[in-house]
Every structure is written in structure tokens, then in C-alpha cells.
Structure 1
Amino acid sequence: MKAFYSDHFVLPLPPRHRFPMQKYRRLRERLLNELPGVELCEAPAASDGQLALAHHPRWIDKMTQGKLSAAEERAIGFPWSEAMAERSRRSVGATLAACAAAQTANYAANLAGGTHHAYAERGEGFCCFNDVAVAARWVQSRRWARQVLCIDLDVHQGNGTARIFADDSSVFTLSLHAERNYPFTKEQSDADWPLADGTGDEAYLDCLEQALETAWKRFQCDWVFYIAGADVYQGDRLGRLALSLEGIAMRDRMVFDWCHRRGLPCVITMGGGYADPIDDTVSIHYQTLAIAFQMRLIT
């Protein structure tokens, strides 16, 4: 299995900033120590041309050259820095590299990514560029896939991804998310499954099973991106759902088994996770990758 990382590009954040930047390094270190079958690879930087597959050139220039307005910085939630711009490129590059690996090995992972709130022309919600949107267009441009399914199981709706592909029938966006959580003005995915506050394991898994089967009936995909958000966890500070660790494990097994039975390449991204202590989030992300490895879906 190949997993691509960019955690050594650390953003300089103000004290007490709520984004858990340390989780990425801790996840890589845990994989290194406990799952040696995972081949850890430094992520390359996405080029302007690759970013332009899903983003407007003006936004790429503003993001990479430090031309953001104060309002744009507030919407993203990070102060601009050269490290922020480089890390944003590398986060997209990690998903692109994972696609290249999955093209021959069927499964690969980005140890970050799932930046689904970024729109073509702006960023928001800790997302600068939309790695899955860029990568979906990239695998199509290389003719590795024609019909791409984005399975977004972060607790927040993937509004940026939904908007980017709103008029693109070759990409199907599926989102299970907390109905009353950010973003408070939702976009329309191809299939939205809004969930009530406090939704637990049984109800969530029943909904996911229905969502996957419905997506397959409506859209015969040949490639999958899986945003495996850890923020559905009952102890997450920014989630509103109530899944247990075992419930999240069952979620991941369901998605991997669904892909495996259909012979679909699957690129895994981590999505959000804001538990306190941070090690709970790291354990959830680690569990996602360990389950895939244990199921012998990743080699």
C-alpha cells in the first residue's frame, strides 16, 4: 500500500487555533511504527496546470502568490503564508499521486486531503484547493476513468465538490452529513443524505447501505474517491453525529467491501476530525487504513 504525506509542511497558526494540524504527523508516525506494510511517500506538489483542472486561474494566482483579501483568509480559516500555499499544493499532489498508485494497485491513500469545501474560485472551511475535484478531472484526463464517484462521509457536506460538479454528469457526488452542521447553506449534491443530530451507528449504517446501492443504480462508476471523515465520531468537537469507534469501523468496511465487490479503484482521503484529545482522531484515521490493509484490499 502507498500512502502520501505532506505533514512536514506545517502552517504557522495562531495560539489556540482550533485546527488540529498535529494529527497528520502523528498519523504518519503511527503508521510507520504499527503498520509497516504501508509505504509512506512524500507528496509531490500539484502544478498550476493540474490545479486548473478544477480551479479558476485567478484563484490559483491569489492562493499561491499571497493575494488573498482579509475576507478570503477569514473564510478559509488560515492566515496566508508561503507554507500554507506549499502545503495546499502538496495536499492536492498527494491525492494525484495516490491516483497513480491506485491505477495499478487499486487502493492508495492521502494522509490528509478531502478538502471538499473549496470551490473553483474560492476557499473556505480550512480548504484552499479541492484535491478530490482536481484528481477526479485528472484521472479522466488520463483516461483511467470515465465515471467517477465521490463518496463523502465527512460530517460536513462537501459543498465545494458538489458545486464544481453540478453540471458534470461524469462525476457523481454522494454526501452523508449532519443536516444542521456547517455549511449552513448547502449545495445540491447528486445524492444528499442529511442526518439528524445524534444519529448513531445503526441508523447511520442503514442510511449508508441505502445510499451506496442507490448511487450504483443511478451511476455506473469506474473510479471511487472516499473521504473518510473522522468527525462523525461521537466525541468530535465540530460534529453533531454520534458514531462509536466500532461504528466508524463498520462504515469503512462497508465502503471498502462495496468497492471490492465491484472491482473499483479507490483513493482514500482523511477528511476532517476535531476530537479532544487529538489522539482519538488519529486513531480513527489509522483505523480506516488498518481495516483496508487487513481486508487485503490494499497491497
Structure 2
Amino acid sequence: MRLYPCDRYSLPLPEGHRFPVQKYAMLRQRLELDATTGTPFAFIEPHAATDEELRRVHCPQYLGRVFRGTLTRAEIQRIGFPWSQELVERSLRSTGAAIDAAASALRDGVAASLAGGTHHAGTNWGEGFCIFNDTAVSAREMQDRGLVQRVLIVDCDVHQGNGTAEIFAKDDTVFTLSLHGEKNFPLRKYPSSLDVPLSDGTSDEAYLAALDRALEVSFSTFEPDIIFYIAGADPYEGDRLGRLGVSQEGLLQRDRLVFTSAVTNCAPVAIVCGGGYCNDLAMIAEIHAATMREAVKFEEQFAQISRK
């Protein structure tokens, strides 16, 4: 299974910043250890997303401000990161990782970016630690290459994918499913193709039942050529921003449910990490690592899809 890590691209943040950038190196290190004991992970350097790829989704004026470092104070505040050239490079690599993972998934059945899930970035804005919308750019790129026509985005980050919903609002070739905390960020939620808002404290049984129903509805109304799975760690009961009550085992069952549904419906899967804000960084990394380990268990079934 091909994995595209981005952790060697630094993200300089002020001391005490709440974004857990260290989790990405911890995740890669866990999976590298798995690889030494026989788990078939291959770690590949992602390309930096090109201007042409980004323009398939984002407007040139916004991109120009990002590249030149001329974002307004309000835009920087909305994004939540101080601007730096390192921020731009890391964002390009993270978006490139999603593109590379999608191309690999179409070839092999399943692949993953070890970053990303930047679903708050819209056509002309960044927000909530998201500069470019990696899954939207990747979906458009796969369509432009003629590799897919219909795309399903299964967003299981605890926060609603408002940027993704805005980007694809008038596009019936992309189905956006968002399973998220009803009262959580963002304040303004653009309507997805299917939104599943969850009450604070939602635990395993109710969470998994809601996801199961949502996947059933999605696949009954839409036949995707590829699935982008945003496998957020922030529905976890110990997440300081998540406000849900899903256990570590519940998140593993979530992953299994998504992968089983994908195989059943003959759709390859490109995974991106999504959020995770638990004070225990090792727990965040472990939840993300468990998603990758679960995916590789389905590798042969996914490979059969890619050969059809």
C-alpha cells in the first residue's frame, strides 16, 4: 500500500499553537515500524501540487495572495496559521500527496496521504488550518486526466466540510457526505450532498448506525469511480475539540465500515488523515495509524477492484 508522507516539510508555528503538527512524524514512524515487521507499506515522496492543479478548484486571486504572502490579516486569522514560505511548501506537498494517493488508488485499489483532509478551504478562502482543499483539487485532477467521472467524498472529520460543500455545490459529478458534530465548527455550514449532524456526546453505537445509514443512502443514489475518505481522528472521545464520544475501537469499526462499503460497491479509496486534537499526541497518531493498518487488510480486495 502506497503512503505519501509530508512531515519532513516543516510548519513553523508559535509556541503553544494548538495545531498538533508533531502527529505527522509520529504517524510515519509508527507505520515505518510496522513495515519493518512485514506490513506492506511503501513510503513515497509526494509531488508539490502545481499552479495548474490548484486552479482547477481555487481562484487565481486567492492563490496569488497565498504565494506572494499578501493575505490580509483577516484571511490569516481565518486560516489560523502565520504565513511563511514553509507553510506554502507544506500545503503544496499535502495537496500533492492527495493527488498522488488518488492516482495510486486507481491503480492499486487503495492508497493514502499521511496528511491532508483540508476540507475547510473553499474556492477563494482558507479556513481552520486549511490553505488548499486537497481532496477537491485531487478529485478535479483525476477527472481532468480522464481517470474518473464520478467522485464520492466521505468526510468523517468531526467538523463539517464546508469548503468542499461550497466547491462542489453545483456539480452533480461529485457527491459530498459529511458526518460531523452539529454544534461544532464551522459556524457557517454550506450544505453537502448529504449532511449527517451529530449531537454532542454521540457514542459508538449511534455514530456507527448514522454512518451506516449515510453510506447506504450515498451508494443507493450515486455510483462513484473513486472514494476520498477523510478519516479524522477528532470524533474520538478524548479529543479536546471534537465534543463527540466515539471510542478508539469505535473509530476502527468506522474505518472497517467505510472500507467494506467501498469494496462492496467496487470503488477504490484514497485516504487522507483529517483532524485530531487530543492532548495525547501519541493517541492521535495511533488512531491514524490504525486506519492505515485496517486499509491494508483490504488491499487484495481493493486490488481486485483496480484490475476490473
The answer to whether TM tops 0.5 is yes
Match of 1:91 in 2: 94
Aligned equivalents of 2:112, 2:125: Cα separation in 1: 25
Match of 1:177 in 2: 180
User: What secondary structure, in the 3-state scheme, does the structure 1 residue paired with 2:254 have?
Assistant: helix
Match of 2:139 in 1: 136
Runs of 4+ residues deviating >6 angstroms: none
Q: 2:279 aligns with which of 276, 289, 298?
A: 276
Aligned equivalents of 1:172, 1:14: Cα separation in 2: 37
TM-score (normalizing by structure 1): 0.98
Aligned equivalents of 2:289, 2:302: Cα separation in 1: 14
CA offsets per residue over residues 240-259 of structure 1, 9 Å max, x none? 11100110000000000100
Match of 2:224 in 1: 221
Name the amino acid aligned to 2:18.
R
Name the amino acid aligned to 2:189.
K
Query: Residue 2 of structure 1 contacts residue 108 of structure 1 at CA under 8 Å; is this kept in 2?
Result: yes
Aligned equivalents of 2:72, 2:24: Cα separation in 1: 28
For residues 258-273 of structure 1, the aligned pairs below 5 Å read 258-273=261-276
User: What secondary structure, in the 3-state scheme, does the structure 2 residue paired with 1:85 have?
Assistant: helix
Query: Residue 35 of structure 1 contacts residue 290 of structure 1 at CA under 8 Å; is this kept in 2?
Result: no
Query: Residue 153 of structure 2 contacts residue 229 of structure 2 at CA under 8 Å; is this kept in 1?
Result: yes
Match of 2:8 in 1: 8
CA shift for structure 1 position 298: 6.1
Q: Aligned pair 1:30/2:33, yes or no?
A: no
Match of 1:64 in 2: 67
**Distance 1:2-1:231 versus aligned 2 partners, 3 A rule:** same
Aligned equivalents of 1:9, 1:65: Cα separation in 2: 19
CA shift for structure 1 position 61: 1.1
For residues 1-299 of structure 1, the aligned pairs below 5 Å read 1-36=1-36, 37-296=40-299, 297=301
CA shift for structure 1 position 174: 0.3
RMSD: 1.0
Query: Residue 108 of structure 1 contacts residue 298 of structure 1 at CA under 8 Å; is this kept in 2?
Result: no
Name the amino acid aligned to 1:239.
G
CA shift for structure 1 position 35: 3.3
Aligned equivalents of 1:298, 1:92: Cα separation in 2: 23
Name the amino acid aligned to 1:4.
Y
Identity of aligned residues (%): 49
CA shift for structure 1 position 273: 0.3
Aligned equivalents of 2:177, 2:165: Cα separation in 1: 9
Query: Residue 54 of structure 1 contacts residue 133 of structure 1 at CA under 8 Å; is this kept in 2?
Result: yes
User: What secondary structure, in the 3-state scheme, does the structure 2 residue paired with 1:14 have?
Assistant: coil
Name the amino acid aligned to 1:279.
A
CA offsets per residue over residues 149-169 of structure 1, 9 Å max, x none? 000000000000000000001
TM-score (normalizing by structure 2): 0.95
Structure 1 residue runs of 5 or longer lacking an equivalent are none
User: What secondary structure, in the 3-state scheme, does the structure 2 residue paired with 1:55 have?
Assistant: coil
Name the amino acid aligned to 1:151.
V
Structure 2 residue runs of 5 or longer lacking an equivalent are 304-308
CA shift for structure 1 position 13: 0.4
